[in-house]
Structures are given as C-alpha cells and as structure tokens.
Structure 1
C-alpha cells in the first residue's frame, strides 16, 4: 500500500497535517512500496494477543512485542499510547513514520508499517535478533554474548556511518536527538541499527540550527542544547562521543559508588586521559589481544566529540574518518568536556564543567525519550 493511502486509513487529520508539514515534503517516497498499513487483528494474532511471553521491551509510552506475521516474517511491534491532553505519543508516532519512510541505510532500523487502533498507535519494525547494544554491553553474561574488540569497532563505525548519513547525505538533514546505547539495535550479525526516531528533527533550507524544547537522555545530553534548546547536529555528535566511550569501556554512562558518589563516564575518561593512562578505560573483558593504537584513537575521538565547545567537535563524517585513521589525530589538542549533571541546569543557563563536578542527578533516565527502543 502506498504511504499516501495510509493517511485516509491510519491517521487523524491532525496527524496528516503533521506528516505533510514535517520536512516540507510529499508523503509519497521511494521506499513507500515497502510500507504496510497493518490491521489491529493482524498484529494481535502475530503477537499472541500482545502476550507477556512475547514482550521484548518496555518504553516510556508503551511496550514492544515480538510478532510472527502470516507471511512468516518475524517483526517487532511497538505499541504506543497517546496522551489525549499533550498528544505525546502521537507526535512521536508521526515523526517516526515521517523520518523512516524516507530513509534507507544499512545502519538505520527498517520500519515495515503502522497501525492505528483507538488511542493506541503501532509501529512495526524488522526484528533485531540481538536486541539493543545496552542489553549486550551492560547485561553481563546473562545475554550470552561477549563483545570482542572487532565487534566493538564494527558497531562504533556502523553507528558513525548511520549518523553521517542522517547529518550530511540526506536532504534535508536530520538530527536524531536521542543517540544512546538502548537506541542502537543489533541484528543477528551484530550490525548496528540506529533506532527510535520519535524525537528526530529535520533541518530545512540548510538551517544551521533550530530551537526546540529540550529532549533526550541525561548523560548523553550536550550541555549547550540542555541550557538553551538550540539544536544543531553537534548535539548528536556529543551523544555519539559518549556512546563511543561506553562501547570501548563497557561502563554505564553514570555510575555510583560509595566513595565518589555519582560518576560520569565522560568525567572518568577525561581524568584518565589527563593522567596519560588512556588504555585503563578499555573494557577488561576485551582481553589483552587488541590493537592498542586503535583503542587509543577511538577513545580520543570520543573525547573530541564531547568537548564543551560545540564548534570544536568534529562533524560526523570527519569523526568517522578519524576512527578509520583516514584523518590523523596524532597531536590534535583535546579540550575539556562539557556536562549537564543536574536537572536544574536544563534551560536555566547553567552548566557543569571540569575539573569541578559537584552537582548530582537523581537518575540517568530522568530526561528520556518518549519512545525507547526495544531494550
């Protein structure tokens, strides 16, 4: 079914207007022939009545279920509940469809279709056998997968390629706004897929920035965006830098211990770098047989991406070339990172920088995407 047909069958007039308006583009696109409008009964049968045994994830606005379609395809069905007053859930639903039906890249999740049933909205994706990067990185031995250096390298490069595509190859450009480990899905070959485009924004007419309400996840949130709402592609670069440090270290973005209290990975990486002990950040589970020079380069690129001054952060295409050593970063100066470490700092014109970090936050996910991946 053509995506234009989805308007009459799937969306309210308000949703239709939003879809046409976002990006100023026609709804019909090159990938529309792959987009299906599913019936509620079809998805209900596929997920065994959205049973608990089929549930594979929980998001801020609903749950994700594994489903088996009549044609034998295995899918992930994200069920969203719309808040009548704020229409949250609806906006993210529209944004996800608008964005993903126009994009095709091996490192972006594939949206197969949608469904509307009462106050519920359903998004249907290709099923990712290995769930999310967060689950594998932080799930310990329970997930049965141990990420060696080559896998971490391939995942890092794949995410970088996906973001470079969004930022620089797609017209108009797209900013994701919520890059984090739980929004990176992994297929059976551990190929990364950037997911959850509910917060994404489209940059029209070569705009350098747009102003929005602040959204994202604390710990991955670029400080200049958090305090001003001024959205640029560099906020994704910052989040990617945090994610890269997370992939290499295997550590959570925020950690708590009795001696130091809450400790941010960005802070720890900067301190290790300043102490000239950069390899201490590499996850011990990788073992001893890994390319030290490459590991150092990846950590340095991560730190370059989280520099406090947004203008000093590389564009994603440049960061990718740095990772592959097509751009030599030997001798490149790295300035201190920026960090928003207190919810009270958000949009109040305050910021926390290094070496001092005294503010505390209540939890990592205090500011989160209304659509989380199926982790």
Structure 2
C-alpha cells in the first residue's frame, strides 16, 4: 500500500512539474496555433498543433524556448507556404525568426516579432515592400529579405534601427533612391543591394560604418565616393560617372579598413587613399573659410545668422538651402543660402557632426535645422507661373475648399497637372516669419505610399501655397457621395483596401514620424484615390492652422472631446478615421440633413446597430447589392465600434486598428476582385484603370 502511494505521488509530482515548468506562455501558443492554421503546406512541422499544445515542453519543430517563453523560431527549408498568420506581434520574447528558403508569397506580414534581433525571410516569394512595422524594431541586428519579389521604393523608415548590423535586400525589384534615414544606421557593417533597380547616388552610405557593400546591377549614378573605395565593395553594372570622384564632406566615417573594389570599383587603393587625404585637407580648408566668414558677419551684426544674406529680407521670402546645399552630390562646395527661382529643387540633407573636424563650431540654428531635416525635397514655384497654370485661380479650376484654404487644379505647358492649396492669408496674421518655412520642411519629410506627396510650394507677395500630386480619380468623398447612375460602386474588398491603406498612413504619422503628427482633419474628402484606387491621405502636417480656426469643428468627423481645435489628440484622429470607415460601410455622409432627424448624424444612428447582425445587414450601403462577405462586414463593424467610442481612452491606438484590418483581410473568404467606382473620362483610360485594379489581388 505504501509502495503504491509512493508511485502515485511520483506520478502526480511529475505531472505538476510538467504543468508548472513546461507549459508555454498561452499568448505564444495562440500565436503559433494561428500561424500553423494559416499555412497551406506544413507536413514537415512535426509536433505542431492547430489549437493548444505545449511548444516548449513538447519540442515543436524549429521552436526554442527560455522558461515558458518562445525565444527562437527557425523554420528554414521546410517547403512551407501560405501565410504566417496575424499574431506574430504577440511573440514578444522571440529574438530570432527564420523562415528562409520556403515558398511563402504575398505581402510580408505587417506585424513581425517586435523584439527580434535576427529576421530572415530570404528566398521566398514575398511581394510588395518592406512593412512599416520594421521601423519600430529597435533591437534588430540582422534583416535578410534577399531573393524575394519586393518592389517599390524604400521610405525613410530606418531612423530607429541603430543596432542593425546587416541588411540584405538583394535580388528583388526595389526602385528609387536610397532613403536618407540610411544615415542613421550607425552600426551597419554589411549591406547587400545587388540586383535591384535602385537609382540616384550611394552618397548617404558615407554616413554609415559599412565595410562590406554590394550594389551591383542597379541604376545608380554619380561617383563611388572615395571613402567607400577602401572597403570591400562590389559595384559593377551601374551608371557611374567617369573620372575621379569629388572629396567627401565632413562627418563621414573614416578609416573603414582595407578592402577591394571590384567590377567597376574604379581606381587602385593608393589613388583612393591619396584622394581621401586630399578630401580631408579640402574639408578642413572649407570649414576654416566658414569660420572666418562667420566671425566677420558676427562683427557686423549681433542679430545675423550664419550664412544668411540680406537678399532674403529684401525679397520677403523664407530662406531654405538651395539645391547646392552642404552635401550636394557629396561635393564640398557650398554657395550659401539662396532665394529660389521657379522651379528649383530644394534638397536639404543631414549634416553629421564629427568631433575630428571641428564641425561643432557651426551655429546652433544651422545644426538644429540640419538635425530635423533628414530628407526634404520640394520645388519652388513662382506666383506668376501658378497664376497662369490655374487661370489666375479661376472658379472653374477650383477643386475644393477646406477649413484653411482652397485647392485649385494647375495645368502647366509641359502637360503636368498639380493641385495647389492656397492657404488663407489671415491664418498668418501674428505668426512668426519662419512659420511657413518650418511647415514646408516638416511636410516634405513625410513619405509614405498612402500619403499624398508634397511636391512644391510658393511664398510670394503675401501668398502661401502648398503644391501636391493631382489625382484624377478625385477623393473618396466623391466616389461615395457624388456618383451618378452610370457609376460602378466601390466593391466591398476595395473599401476594405481603402480603409487599411488610410489606417497605415495614419499609423505612419502617429507612430513612425518623430515627433508624432496629429492630422486633426481626417475625412473622406482628404483621402484621394490613385489610378489603382489606393488611398492617399492629404492635408497632413497643417495642425498649426487648425489651431487657429474652428471651421472644421462639428462636421461629423470630430470626436466628442474636440470642442475646440486645441483638444485634438492621436485618439481624436482614430475617431475621425472610424467615421470614414462608417462612410465606407453605409455609403452615407457623416451629417445628412436630408435624412430623418434620428438618422442625420451617422455615428449616432449607426453605432447601436453595429453589433446586431440583422440590423447591420440593413445599414450596409445598398449600392453593394449584397455582394459582400457578411463575416467580413461584421468584423469591419466591430473595428468601427472601437474607433468611435465616446471615451477617448477606450479607443485603440491606430497600430491596433491596422492589425485588426490586416487580420480581417487575412480571414476573408471571398475573392479579391477589386472594382472601380466610376468610368474614367475616356474609355481607353477606364479600361487601363480596370486592368490595373484587377492586378491588385491582395491588400
């Protein structure tokens, strides 16, 4: 009997030991269950389960743990396909995530393990571009996205990745210039960019400590900087300029170590060293010249700023660096601040301080301006040119009127069409003279696939104008509320795509931009649609003006707490976005006096019906004619309900809204056949738009 009790005690002890010491964190288990269920090919994942289980205690394939937390996921070469689910962000203890050499396709998961140090997604079939969530992964040391099908431009999303040592983007179809935030990669040693379609120069890499670089087979131009010729660099298959490269500017990394240039690297190491020494000498002389000039100017006027010119006061134009700025094409020549002619590209690039060059002697104003100007590109337009292009701001060219000004359509002789926002001059009364300059600098740095890009500005004779891309498809407001009997309504999946893209734009403003940008005027008329019906959020970065006007209050988009412009917060933007989602769901305006009194306010009327399936089916836009997935609509309504809560503290951050919309898309059971809202002005363009939209089979 006593022996049996000992046996029983041993069994129970072993059972409880397993329960206490082997059970995996439930959050990690759920995330891995979701991942397993999202895969379409998973026969080699031994031990994995679709629900429950104990990844740490049962030794699931590729899973390593520390205590009860999953710390490593290594699933390379397992013929995996499908998707990886929508809960990877829950794996907060994972430091290594490797799914390389599989058969994954579609977008890279928008949310990855947030604290990972190593991410390897190479040798798959991932498309689209690098997700913005990567920009928040400050612990990341290795990111390998090579050998996929990524496309589009890289945006300025690398500011916080100061621990990143190795970045591999090779063998994709990425385009555009290298982002200026590469200069923030202060730990970068290895960079592989070969076999893409990158353009522009590689000068920004001078500000990184990279010593293993491959940029072969792109469309790079300019020179290979001298300081990069002494590292292990492969550079063939580009359009390099001939002859010796100009000396490098101050603030770049020196003494990178020995290496060899191959395949078009250019010159022998001895020549490169000679040019480097010459560059240093030139830079020192250049800085001495600035110091002498600064001192002489200081004697003349205590109020003058370094490198300023009286021409600015005479022309009453705000001052900015001209296109020949401190680092133009990495030349060390500098022509000083200039007033701009039309059109003239403004390109303000970062000035890196280096103790060895004595760069600290530059004025505080210039250093401060350079630090906050990571990549500013805009075009200065003359007032006279804009008057011609807009027919002297004729009523026939008026595209719309907002709370801070009017927007006009500008047609130029070259055929280019732009949208000109003419800001009400009364908003500048009592404002500091540099305010418009600061706004242009701030807005110009904002770059995102779902944000309408600022392409220019005008500041002459008391006029202040911002110039944006023109979208011939118009705004979401026009699509939803101004269509005619000949228009095709937006399909349900297109509406979800518009909501997700807009949410990502807001997430970029709130959580990627530093400091955060509160939009304060999110509404359907500020969401434009490109030819493929991708949303482009406009009117951002103008919160300063919204502080001075109450015209935008009470439009149906403003959160209950926003009784005055200064009351706006990030959560107020979330509320406004929820109202836009309600428009997409119901096809109704936020405020509609033509409706019965109980239905005039969209939020008040729709909110009680969002969780009632029967009622929900009755408030869905009739234009959809029942062609939607009821489960998708129900989940969409759940997200709306969270966003439009009266108490701001209960509304989710926009990143959570993005995650839930991504989850909705991944759960969708209907085919992603996108629709167009209306016919284009000519049938051939309409057919092109339709073909373009049908190519978008994923969000």
TM-score normalised by structure 2 residue count? 0.40
How far, CA to CA, are the matches of 1:197 and 1:270 in structure 2? Answer: 27
Q: 1:51 to 1:143 in 2, by over 3 A?
A: farther
How far, CA to CA, are the matches of 2:434 and 2:527 in structure 1? Answer: 21
How far, CA to CA, are the matches of 1:258 and 1:91 in structure 2? Answer: 46
Given the alignment, which residue of 597, 613, 620 partners 1:260?
Answer: 597
Equivalent residue runs for 1:118-157 within 5 Å: 118-141=461-484, 144-157=487-500
Shift of 1:61: 4.5
Equivalent residue runs for 1:200-211 within 5 Å: 200=543
Shift of 1:65: 2.1
Given the alignment, which residue of 294, 314, 320 partners 2:652?
Answer: 314
Count of aligned pairs between the two proteins:
306
Given the alignment, which residue of 633, 636, 643 partners 1:298?
Answer: 636
Shift of 1:117: 2.6
How far, CA to CA, are the matches of 1:79 and 1:119 in structure 2? Answer: 11
How far, CA to CA, are the matches of 1:309 and 1:114 in structure 2? Answer: 39
Given the alignment, which residue of 585, 607, 618 partners 1:270?
Answer: 607
Shift of 1:123: 1.5
Q: 1:258 to 1:163 in 2, by over 3 A?
A: closer
Shift of 1:246: 1.1
Shift of 1:318: 0.5
Shift of 1:190: 1.7
- Comparing 169-178 with 142-151, greater Cα deviation is found at 142-151
The residue that corresponds to 2:385 in the other structure is 42
Q: 1:226 to 1:327 in 2, by over 3 A?
A: farther
Shift of 1:326: 6.8
How far, CA to CA, are the matches of 2:369 and 2:520 in structure 1? Answer: 21
> What SS class does the counterpart of residue 75 from structure 1 fall into?
strand
Given the alignment, which residue of 441, 444, 450 partners 1:107?
Answer: 450
Shift of 1:30: 4.2
The residue that corresponds to 1:189 in the other structure is 532
The residue that corresponds to 1:52 in the other structure is 395
Ranked by relative contact order (alpha carbons within 8 Å, sequence separation 6 or more), the top structure is: 1
Equivalent residue runs for 1:233-252 within 5 Å: 233-252=570-589
Shift of 1:47: 2.4
The 8 Å contact of residues 443 and 541 in structure 2, kept in 1 or not, is answered as no
1:159-179 Cα shifts (integer Å, max 9, x gaps): 000001111111211110111
Q: 1:26 to 1:147 in 2, by over 3 A?
A: same
The residue that corresponds to 2:128 in the other structure is none
How far, CA to CA, are the matches of 1:153 and 1:275 in structure 2? Answer: 20
Matched, 1:173 2:516: yes
The 8 Å contact of residues 74 and 127 in structure 1, kept in 2 or not, is answered as yes
The 8 Å contact of residues 322 and 328 in structure 1, kept in 2 or not, is answered as no
Given the alignment, which residue of 556, 561, 565 partners 1:224?
Answer: 561
The 8 Å contact of residues 111 and 123 in structure 1, kept in 2 or not, is answered as yes
How far, CA to CA, are the matches of 1:251 and 1:267 in structure 2? Answer: 13
The residue that corresponds to 2:626 in the other structure is 288
Matched, 1:4 2:331: no
Shift of 1:26: 4.0
How far, CA to CA, are the matches of 2:628 and 2:559 in structure 1? Answer: 31
Shift of 1:258: 7.0
Shift of 1:310: 1.4
The residue that corresponds to 2:692 in the other structure is none
Matched, 1:72 2:412: no
Shift of 1:112: 0.8
> What SS class does the counterpart of residue 29 from structure 1 fall into?
coil
Shift of 1:41: 1.9
> What SS class does the counterpart of residue 244 from structure 1 fall into?
helix
Q: 1:72 to 1:161 in 2, by over 3 A?
A: same
The 8 Å contact of residues 272 and 280 in structure 1, kept in 2 or not, is answered as no
Bigger radius of gyration among the two? 2
The 8 Å contact of residues 111 and 125 in structure 1, kept in 2 or not, is answered as yes
Unpaired runs of 5+ residues, structure 1, are 11-19, 202-211, 330-375
- Comparing 315-324 with 226-235, greater Cα deviation is found at 226-235
How far, CA to CA, are the matches of 1:143 and 1:242 in structure 2? Answer: 27
Shift of 1:296: 1.1
The 8 Å contact of residues 29 and 101 in structure 1, kept in 2 or not, is answered as no
Q: What RMSD in Å do the two structures reach over aligned CA positions?
A: 3.4
Shift of 1:147: 1.2
The 8 Å contact of residues 451 and 536 in structure 2, kept in 1 or not, is answered as yes
> What SS class does the counterpart of residue 465 from structure 2 fall into?
strand
Shift of 1:92: 8.8
Matched, 1:29 2:366: no
